[in-house]
Structure 1
Amino acid sequence: MTVSVDQAMHVFAPALPLAVGYSGGADSTALLHACAQRWPGQVVAIHVHHGLQAAADGFAAHCRASCAALQVPLAVVHVDARPRAGQSPEEAARHHRYSALVEQARSAFAQPVASIALAQHADDQVETLLLALSRGAGVAGLAAMPAQWQRDGMDWHRPLLRVSAPDIRAWLKAHHIAWVEDPTNTDPSYTRNRIRAQLLPVLEQVFPQFRDTFARSSAHAAHAKQLQQDLAQADLQVVGVPPNIQALQQLSTERQANVLRHWLLHFHQTTPSAAQLQELLKLIAACRTRGHHIHLKVGYGFAVRKGANLGWYNP
């Protein structure tokens, strides 16, 4: 069930020092203030300047002023968030943001950071689930965002994932804390903004507990996702890295798809579309002779046959 900011922070127990991803918006502002109050001297902030809009310099200036007032060290990092071929703008921005957070957490402060906290909340989780449903996503997409995970040797946390957006803003107003509004958050050309402005109010009326029930569905999907990952890791031990085509053919079609998704994501940081994966499975099934050729667009690169194995490259 949803909780208040104070309740969420009461159970949040990260390894310290802690870095907070700080945009200057309402959600990250609440997270930064709450963390700085609870662990004075053990919290730093990282602001990622994407340079994608005219207001970006103003966001950075606001973050500098706020962190100076809080006596929280701040690193501002500029990134080139332009997408690669086959990559959406949102995916590109997310990739560059995570890379920048890791790099700054390791090197920008007096001592290396142990944990990173991000400010996504319960409404973000609902929006992510609805976006996944609209795209026909599988279990991994329906699992939405985890509250805690490990990446690049660090612990990552989303401590506000059970707090609603209205409760976060109410908490900020009660503590007389200012934040900045990103003008792109009201741009209707973004699907996520249309969900926020048009769908969430209707869900609030029809299903008042939608944040809690949707979160339970995502939790069930997350459990199934973990089982899929466990199976993929076991199958990868059998088919090898890179995958042996003949060994792949011994698996059921569903397990082939599962292990290929896992291999592409974890070894090549790319995700095939449903159509690409189905076509790749057909090519693998037909690959019965030494001269059979595989060359298929998969993710932002190409899957190819390399002798007895399946390879992938980014041109």
Structure 2
Amino acid sequence: MALTPLLPIEQALADFSPGLPFAVAFSGGADSTALLWACARRWPGQVRAVHIHHGLQLAADAFEAHCRALCQQLNVPLTVRKVQAGHAQGQSPEDAARKARYAALAEAVQSEWPEVHGIALAQHADDQVETLLIALSRGAGLPGLASMPSHWQRQGLDWYRPFLAVPGAALRAWIQSQGHSWVEDPSNTDESFTRNRIRARVLPALAEALPAFRETFARSAAHAAQAQEILNEVAAQDMAHIGAPPRIEALQRLSRARQALVLRHWLRLQHATTPSAAQLNELLDQLTACTTRGHRIHLKVGVGFVQREGQHLSWQTA
């Protein structure tokens, strides 16, 4: 007798092996509701939930109430964190909210449940395509084209995205078939946000023209991620040679492409900042021109400044 093929969400969970117990980031929307229901059923008693209350819209209190009721029904412990993220000059409100949300998730898990070392997020295949298209629209390099990883480590925690191969429509179909409900975030239909415009206009057109676009785009993102891993290894080797802070003379012995690679690596790893393409090109030009002791470097890079201090480069916040 032929085996019944697994549904996409069932296959995703079959491939998901988190350390137990673990937490789910639970907004109350369809995607995170599907993740919480599926995980709580597969690992009863091993799942916790964290709800981030952004306070950005009037419905936020209703979202929290819905999440509390559902977690009580599932017998899943829930903790709530309230976040109101301001954004710095040049930073998008969405990026500021995302960073604040991740920080709040990590704090909630580490303070409430010391035995929990992993957090599952509900981003799915459509989210991955949207992330890739946004990166392309901004002229991103390999880190952007690699899009979202399915597993990474940060702040002493393992982070997981088990649904990256599952279309959003499949998640909604599954949760409806189970008779479960969710809340709709009204901001998801606001097409002033780039991601929402892509979801409403571009993805339907892609589905018509390129039916397998989710799978093929995911493969391209995976290729970019693999290539970036190799470049990270090269950058780490170069940084071990030039030092941190970087020695100007050692930098100048590298090709311009490797100078760019190791400088990005240094700024990201040591200072958690990312230069724009224009800022990095100007810095590389200044490095080429830096042939005398009196040559001064003081350039805006990322959210701070790179400057020359003797035979080295340094970075300071603005």
TM-score normalised over the length of structure 1: 0.96
Residue 20 in structure 1 maps to residue 27 in structure 2 = no
Q: Which residue of 1 aligns with 2:121?
A: 118
Match for residue 39 of structure 2 among 8, 26, 35: 35
Amino acid in structure 1 at the alignment position of 2:103: S
Residue 142 in structure 1 maps to residue 138 in structure 2: no
For 1:206, the equivalent position in structure 2 comes to 209
Residue 245 of structure 1: how far off its partner (Å) = 1.4
Supply the AA of the counterpart residue of 1:61. A
Q: Give the Cα separation in 1 of the matches to 2:92 and 2:243.
A: 31
1:268 aligns with 2:271: yes
- Does residue 132 of structure 1 match 2:130? no
Correspondent of 1:77 among 75, 81, 88: 81
Query: 2:100 aligns to what?
Result: 96
**Contact 1:18/1:115 (CA < 8 Å) preserved in 2?**
yes
Q: Provide the residue aligned with 2:186 in structure 1.
A: 183
Q: Deviation per CA, 1:274-293: give whole Å up to 9, x if none.
A: 11111111112212222221
1:240 is aligned to 243
Given candidates 236, 241, 250, the residue that maps to 2:253 is 250
- What is the Cα deviation at residue 297 of structure 1? 1.2
How far has the Cα of 1:171 moved from its partner?
0.5
- Residue 228 of structure 1 pairs with residue 231 of structure 2: yes
Superimposed CA distance per residue, residues 199-222 of structure 1 (whole angstroms, 9 cap, x where no aligned partner): 000100010000011111111111
Instruction: Report the Cα offset of residue 306 of structure 1.
Output: 2.1
- Shift of residue 112 of structure 1? 2.8
Deviation at 1:303? 1.4
Aligned CA RMSD, in angstroms, stands at: 1.3
Residue deviations 1:57-114 (CA, integer Å, cap 9, x gap): 22112111111111111111112311112221122111111111111111113x4312
Answer yes or no: is 1:64 the counterpart of 2:68. Answer: yes
> Alpha-carbon deviations, 1:7-43, whole Å to 9, x = none?
1011111011111111111111111111111111111
Q: Which amino acid aligns with 2:52?
A: V
Partner SS, residue 292 of structure 1: coil
Partner letter of residue 203 of structure 1? L
| Uncovered stretches (5+) of structure 2, i.e. residues with no partner | 1-5
Matches of 1:279 and 1:99, distance apart in 2: 33
AA aligned to 2:151 is: Q
Aligned residues: 313
Shift of 1:157: 0.8
Distance 1:228 1:53 in 2: 42
SS at match of 2:58: coil
CA contact (8 A) 1:86 1:299 kept: no
For residues 280 and 296 of structure 1, what CA distance do their matches in structure 2 show? Answer: 7
* Percentage of identical aligned residues: 60
Deviation of the 1:3 alpha carbon? 6.3
Report if aligned partners of 1:242, 1:309 keep a CA contact under 8 Å in 2.
yes
The one-letter code sitting in structure 1 at the alignment partner of 2:244 is V
Deviation at 1:294, TM superposition (A): 1.4
Asked if the contact 1:87/1:300 (under 8 Å) is kept, the reply is no
Q: Which residue of 2 aligns with 1:299?
A: 302
User: SS of the residue aligned with 1:177?
Assistant: coil
The 3-state SS of whatever aligns with 2:96 is helix
The question of whether the paired residues in 2 share the 8 Å contact of 1:121 and 1:161 is answered with yes
Do residues 46 (structure 1) and 50 (structure 2) align? Answer: yes
Q: Give the whole-Å Cα distance in 2 for the aligned partners of 1:293 and 1:268.
A: 21
Which of 191, 206, 220 is the equivalent residue of 1:217?
220
Query: Structure 1: which 4+ aligned runs deviate by more than 3 Å?
Result: none
SS of 1:265's equivalent in the other structure is: helix
Q: Do the aligned residues in 2 keep the contact of 1:3 with 1:162 (CA within 8 Å)? A: no
> 1:304, 1:312 within 8 Å by CA — same for their partners in 2?
yes
Task: Report 1 or 2 for greater relative contact order, CA contacts < 8 Å, sequence distance ≥ 6.
Answer: 1
- Give TM-score, length-normalised by structure 2: 0.95
